[in-house]
């Protein structure tokens, strides 16, 4: 249940088309609901504006299917992250039809198309094509939430002219998510070129001295450009939610 549904329920009680008993039956499931070994936070969308998302690793196939079905029943939509293509093919017949992004490992199931939460687009930028899976996790999450996404891939600082070529289009976005491995310099350069807030995502792409993304993480944390926020290594999902909250909190007009 989200805020719109809660408002409709209260109005329905006021009109007399829903009894108080019926409303209480629906509301008593708001805090959480037990599904096997999981306690689904069905109240999260009312509190935060974002429903609970399913992290696929570590769950049995049966639990994953049951949780997704329950979320669809309660919210009308479900988002599954880190779902590998092989597992999706195995479970596809047991899950409601949705949009599967194989590069990102994201399954988005919606009964109705999401409306844009606010005007504008969000830009997702990568240093190289090896960073695309993490970038697609961010882009797929944003699209599930209703955001139009502009993708600018393989525009890293090793060929700065590529980034400069798309800089005017990046400026047209609300927020920029910049994804990079190796030395992780891209977010600093992007933040030096645009007035938009930049969410930096370090990836585990790189050679031995990159330490699985730690080098990129430290570079981004030490950025000399202002207005850069940094999420964890390979956390495209977290970057997307931060960008979403930032845009919603900034109001309905473009910054």
Q: pLDDT grade, residue 38 (50/70/90)? A: low
pTM comes to 0.81
Q: Is the pLDDT of residue 23 over 70?
A: yes
Whether the pLDDT of residue 67 is over 70: the answer is: yes
pLDDT of residue 108: 93
Residue 52 reports pLDDT greater than 60: yes
| pLDDT at position 24 over 90 | no
Q: What is the pLDDT of residue 254?
A: 44
Contact indicator for 134, 162 with CB cutoff of 8 Å: no
| 14 SS3 class | helix
> Domains (ranges, CATH) in the chain?
31-110 (no CATH), 122-249 (3.40.50.1970)
- Quote the pLDDT of residue 253: 45
Mean pLDDT (whole number) for 199-204: 97
Identify the pLDDT of residue 40: 64
Residue 164 burial (CB count, 10 A)? 12
Distance CA 179, CA 45 (A): 27
132-144 helix and 236-249 helix, angle to the nearest 10 degrees: 40
Enumerate the β-bridge partners of residue 110: 77
Tokens representing 244 are: 């979403």
Alpha carbons 52 and 33: distance in angstroms, whole number: 12
3-state secondary structure of 169: helix
Higher pLDDT, 36 or 218: 218
């Amino acid at each position: 249940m989200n805020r719109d549904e809660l408002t409709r329920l209260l109005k329905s009680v006021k009109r007399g088309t829903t009894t108080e008993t019926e409303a209480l039956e629906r509301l008593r499931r708001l805090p959480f609901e037990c599904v096997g070994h999981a306690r689904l936070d069905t109240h999260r969308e009312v509190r935060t504006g974002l429903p609970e998302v399913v992290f696929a690793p570590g769950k049995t196939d049966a639990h994953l299917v049951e949780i997704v079905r329950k979320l669809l029943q309660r919210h009308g939509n479900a988002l599954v992250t880190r779902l590998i293509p092989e597992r999706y093919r195995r479970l596809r017949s047991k899950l409601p039809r949705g949009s599967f992004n194989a590069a990102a490992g994201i399954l988005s199931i919606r009964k109705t198309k999401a409306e844009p939460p606010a005007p504008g687009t969000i830009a997702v930028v990568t240093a190289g094509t090896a960073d695309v899976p993490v970038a697609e996790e961010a882009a797929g999450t944003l699209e599930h939430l209703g955001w139009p996404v502009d993708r600018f891939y393989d525009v890293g600082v090793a060929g700065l002219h590529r980034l400069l070529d798309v800089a005017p289009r990046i400026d047209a976005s609300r927020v920029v998510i910049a994804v990079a491995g190796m030395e992780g310099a891209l977010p600093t350069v992007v933040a030096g070129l645009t007035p938009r807030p930049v969410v930096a995502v370090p990836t585990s792409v790189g050679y031995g001295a990159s330490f699985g993304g730690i080098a990129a993480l430290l570079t981004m944390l030490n950025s000399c450009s202002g207005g850069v926020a940094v999420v964890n290594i390979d956390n495209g999902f977290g970057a997307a939610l931060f960008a979403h909250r930032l845009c919603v909190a900034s109001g309905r007009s473009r910054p």
